[in-house]
Amino acid sequence: MIRGPFHHNKYLCTKKHRMKGKPPKESYTIMNELVLPNDTNPLNNLMGGRLLHWMDIAAAISAQKHCNRVVVTASVDNVSFKHPIKLGDVITIEAKVSRAFTTSVEVRLNVYAENIPSGTRIKSNEAYYTFVALDKDGHTIPVPELLPETPEEIALFDGALRRRQLRLILAGKMKPDDATELKALFFGDEK
């Protein structure tokens, strides 16, 4: 059972495991895909599962850049499909680590769909994926700290603690009573 806000410096404080922090730009990843017939449903719209697969790959590359390790997907937060994406559209997926915890990282994704002939481009999705770094024996291993730089990166970094608490509660890995920052969002700082 995972407790507390997070035990971030459990490993980083020991000399053996001390790692240099990294800014989000080092994990920035951009991926393009062209929506082909085999990616679509009978309405000629991109299938949601195919998009989630591409997002998983972009996010995993981003997480690997930050961790310099093999990573596995631990969870995918709620993803909404607001607009249908059509056959022939070009998908752009941008991924960047938004926070590192002890052995896991949260990756933020922005997804755009562009129709080049008509010159239209929409933001179709946003999502957060969480990855856990593993060593060569498949055991979890500490990851470098994330050092946000821009105001947007700092805002994503700050919100990541609450998102982490929510996903761990939903996964049955954290007691709601231990989610201090998440509770404060709803109830203020009252005890």
Ligand X SMILES: CC(C)(COP(=O)(O)OP(=O)(O)OC[C@H]1O[C@@H](n2cnc3c(N)ncnc32)[C@H](O)[C@@H]1OP(=O)(O)O)[C@@H](O)C(=O)NCCC(=O)NCCS
Q: Does 40 bind ligand X (CB under 6 A)?
A: no
Q: Does 73 bind ligand X (CB under 6 A)?
A: yes
Q: Does 6 bind ligand X (CB under 6 A)?
A: yes
Which of residues 59 and 168 has its CB atom nearest to ligand X in the complex?
168
d(CA 17, CA 99): 19
Of 74, 127, 146, 156, the residue at the interface with ligand X (CB under 6 A) is: 74
In angstroms, what is the minimal distance from the CB of 28 to ligand X?
21
CB neighbour list of residue 67: distance below 8 Å, 6 or more residues apart:
105, 131, 133, 143, 144
Q: Is 189 exposed, middle or buried (0-12, 13-18, 19+ CB in 10 A)?
A: exposed
In angstroms, what is the minimal distance from the CB of 159 to ligand X?
15
Contact track, ligand X, 162-181, x by CB under 6 A = -----xx--x-x--------
Positions 105 through 164 that interact with ligand X (CB under 6 A): 130, 132, 140
Closest CA to 78 of 58, 103, 52: 52
Which of residues 35 and 156 has its CB atom nearest to ligand X in the complex?
156
HSE-CB at 186 with a 13 A cutoff on CA atoms is: 8
In angstroms, what is the minimal distance from the CB of 101 to ligand X?
3
Q: Is 16 exposed, middle or buried (0-12, 13-18, 19+ CB in 10 A)?
A: exposed
3-class SS of residue 104: strand
Q: Does 75 bind ligand X (CB under 6 A)?
A: yes
d(CA 10, CA 115): 48
- Single out the segment in contact with ligand X by CB under 6 A; choices: 18-26, 43-51, 71-79, 90-98: 71-79
C-alpha distances (whole Å) from 163 to each of 32, 35, 50, 63, 106 are 27, 31, 25, 17, 9
Which of residues 85 and 105 has its CB atom nearest to ligand X in the complex?
105
Question: Contact residues for ligand X (CB under 6 A)?
Answer: 2, 6, 72-75, 101-104, 130, 132, 140, 167-168, 171, 173
